[in-house]
Amino acid sequence: AALQYAGAALKSDTDIVIAAVQQHGLALQYADAELQADEHIVFAAVQQNGSALQYASIALRENNGIVSAAVQRSGAALQYAGAALRADRGIVYKAVSQNCAALQY
């Protein structure tokens, strides 16, 4: 992802990061920590690639809407969800519906 090579100012620029994660969700890993805690940016990232959840802030890994979007895109993203959501029947159902191997998490 191009964001990997961007300077610190660009990694903390909301518009740049949104554009990057919409193209490549895993680019979230290179975003400034403050933006990894931004619900709008993380939602865009997990919609593109559910596994981007691993780079979200701890608080957003416990956010039902964010985790739901992530596991619908990639059931394996369940492994990055907060403990309470990994035990949530609705979230687990969505994850397993997308990828039956998600039960291992």
Of the given ranges (26-40, 53-67, 87-101), which has the lowest mean pLDDT?
Answer: 87-101
With cut-offs at 50, 70 and 90, classify the pLDDT of residue 100.
confident
Half-sphere exposure of 23 toward its Cβ, with a 13 Å CA cutoff? 9
The full DSSP string for 45-62 is HHHH-GGGGGGS-HHHHT
The span from the CA of 12 to the CA of 9, in Å, is: 5
Residue 103 has pLDDT above 80, yes or no: no
Tell me the one-letter amino acid at 68. S
Greatest pairwise CA separation for the chain in angstroms: 41
Find how far residue 57's CA is from the centre of its chain: 9
Q: Check residues 5 and 38 and name the one with the higher pLDDT.
A: 38
Compute the average pLDDT of residues 11-31. Answer: 97
